[in-house]
Structures are given as structure tokens and as C-alpha cells.
Amino acid sequence: MKKSLMVWGGWEGHEPRQCVRLFAPLMEAAGYSVEISDSLDVYLDADRMRQYAVITQVYTMSTITPEQEKGLLTALENGVGFAGWHGGMADAFRNNTQYQFMVGGQWVAHPGNIIDYTVHITERNDPITAGIADFAMHSEQYYMHVDPSNVVLATTTFGSQHCSWIDGTVMPVVWKRQWGAGRIFYASVGHVAADFEVPEAKEIVRRGLLWAAREF
């Protein structure tokens, strides 16, 4: 049976355990044996890491040792997929630029905190977003530093209500990319588990996990 690893921890405000409990059954329904870890030390076991089709990380505002980071990045370079959302992937390790290089972006702000915003699907023929219409979110609208090599699938546009100088800025929300032989997927939605009650947000992340695992 194909294997998936989900790693959670860090700041509890992002409800990492609850989010893992939401997506683990979806991966199981897709035919995966899901292993769950609350320690980054799992990245140190090279033999174990090679067994996974995809790793999902929900780990915010924390630190990672050089050895843990090397173990993770080496596994991805060799073909393991990596997929996640919000700060659990793109605000995990603020001091680790090589990790951020792999992700393709880093959170820097969410003006206005919890606000209403719209996610615009920009690639309607990609299997991750096909058939999904633009949708509304009531959550943190992530302002990010992003890699221009990302393949962007969805964006959001900032208004002037909270930071007038970013009015009209179009920011990636969903992207995919490569890291060596590994597939990388990211979505900035998902501040807390309840955000995935928006069906489009949940479905995009579900598909993104499967894409990173090379299901399509």
C-alpha cells in the first residue's frame, strides 16, 4: 500500500492536529496508509523517508535543525512529494531560507487579520483546480514573498482597506513546483480547520496532496 506521512506541531493556533485529522481520512480513502508524527525527528530517518509518496507538514513558527532540514530536502530531491497549506508549510521555519526556497514562498503579513476575500482560479484546466469556480473565504488573506518560478493556479487581489499601498496587488494563493525530482504543492488557505468547511478550499488541498503523490 502507498504511504503518506503527516507531521504536525508548532503553534497551536493553526490547529495542526485538527487539520491532520481532517485530511488523513481523505488520504486513506484514496488508498494510502497514513502515518502521523508530532516530531520533526522523523526527517532524520532516511530509509523511512524514502517509503513515502507524499509528506504533509502542518508545523508553524518553529525551528528545524540542520540535520532535520537536510533529511527532508534530500527525500524531496529524490522524488518524495511535499504538500501543505497556510503557515503550516509557508511559515514553518523563518530562519531557513533553503527550506523556503523549496516551498516557493514565505508568509510575511495578513493585513486586517480575519477578513473576507476572494480566491480566483487562474488555471482552470489543471487537474488540481479543474471544475472549481472562484470562491469566497473569511480568514487570513496571506501576503507572501513568492518564487517567480512557481506554477500559479489561483490568486487573490488585495484591497486598500488595511494597507493602502498594496491596493490592487495580485498574490498567489495556490501553486505547484518541483524540488529536484519531488513535486511540491502549496495553498495559503486553511488558517484553522473550520476554513476547510469551504468545499472548494478543502477540495483543492485534497487534490494537491494527491498531485504531489503523483496520482495524476
Report how far apart, in Å, the C-alpha atoms of 157 and of each of 35, 70, 120 are. 37, 35, 8
pLDDT for the residue 199: 98
User: What is the per-residue pLDDT across 33-64, written as a single tens digit (0 to 9) for each?
Assistant: 999 999 999 999 999 999 999 999 999 999 99
CATH class, range 2-212 = alpha beta
Q: Residue 171 in 3-state DSSP?
A: strand
Please state, in angstroms and rounded to a whole number, the distance separating the CA atoms of residues 76 and 166.
34
User: What is the per-residue pLDDT across 22-36, written as a single tens digit (0 to 9) for each?
Assistant: 999 999 999 999 999
Strand 114-121 to 151-157 pairing? antiparallel
pLDDT for the residue 101: 98
User: What is the per-residue pLDDT across 135-192, written as a single tens digit (0 to 9) for each?
Assistant: 999 999 999 999 999 999 999 999 999 999 999 999 999 999 999 999 999 999 999 9
User: What is the per-residue pLDDT across 183-196, written as a single tens digit (0 to 9) for each?
Assistant: 999 999 999 999 99
Overall pTM > 0.85: yes
Domains of the chain, residue spans: 2-212
